[in-house]
Amino acid sequence: MFKATRNTLRFAVAATALAALAACGTRTISDVDSQGITQEPVFPETSQATRPDGSYANLENLGKIASGMTKAQIQELIGSPHFKEGMFGVREWDYILKFRQPNGQPDQVCQYKVLFDENLLARSFYYYPEDCRARAEEQPAPVKSESLTLSADATFAFGSAVLSEPGRTELASLAGCLGGAGNFRIASKLAPTGDSVLAE
C-alpha cells in the first residue's frame, strides 16, 4: 500500500509539473486567439529581456517572414526570441531590433512581435512603435550600373604607343564617370604589357 501511495504521489507531482510548464508556455500577454490574432498587442518591458541589447535588424531576412511559417523557419531568419517566452506551446515571440541611423545618430530601437495560431504557425506581426514598420519594410536602394565602352581605335593611332588627343578626352570622361577624375592622371604611353595605364 505504501508503495502504491508513493507511485501515486510521483505521478501527481509529474502531472502538476507538466501542467505548470504547459500553462507557462500557452500563456500569452496579448490575449491571442486560436487564429494567432490579437486586438491589442502588449509589448513587454525591454528591461525584462534576456537580450536587452537586442540585435541589428537584417532587412532582407525580415522581408522573408510571412504568415504560415514555422518557429524553426522564423528562428533561422531572425534568431531566438529575446524574452523568456516559455518552453511548450508558446504562441508569442518578442524581439528587440535595432536600425542604424544616418549621420552618426543613435540607433533606432524597435520591438517586434510574432504571434502563432493554435497549430503554432506564425500568423500576425506587430511593431512598437508603429513607425518602426515603415523602417523595417524599407527596400535597399538599387545599385545603379552603367556599361562604359572604351574604343581602342579612338585611343591610339594604328601602330602607335602614344595616346591620341581624342583618346585622352575619352579617358578623362571615363574617369569622371567613375567619380574620381581629380584623383587620376592619364599615362601617355603603353605599359610594357601593352595595356594602357591609369594611375593615381
Digit-coded pLDDT (tens) for 119-155: 999 999 999 999 999 988 886 556 565 555 666 655 6
Q: What is the pTM of this model?
A: 0.59
Query: Which cell numbers hold the place of 122?
Result: 506564425
Digit-coded pLDDT (tens) for 34-89: 999 999 999 999 999 999 999 999 999 999 999 999 999 999 999 999 998 765 78
* DSSP string of 41-75, one letter each residue: --PPPGGG-SSTT-EE--HHHHHH--TT--HHHHH
Provide the 10 A C-beta neighbour count for residue 99.
Answer: 15
How far apart CA 68 and CA 97 sit, in angstroms, is: 22
Q: Compute the chain's Rg from CA coordinates.
A: 31
pLDDT for residue 67: 97
- By DSSP bridging, strand 185-186 and strand 198-199 are antiparallel
Digit-coded pLDDT (tens) for 160-171: 667 677 777 777
Alpha-carbon separation of residue 52 from 47, 136, 166 (angstroms): 6, 19, 62
How far apart CA 9 and CA 58 sit, in angstroms, is: 50
- Domains of the chain with bracketed CATH: 46-137 (3.30.1450), 147-177 (no CATH)
Query: Rounded to 5 degrees, what angle do the CA atoms 114, 124, 81 make?
Result: 5
| pLDDT band at 197; cut points 50, 70, 90 | very low
The residue with greater pLDDT, 192 or 117, is 117
Phi and psi based region of residue 113 (left: phi greater than 0; alpha: psi -120 to 50; beta: remaining) = beta
Cβ–Cβ < 8 Å for 36, 121: yes
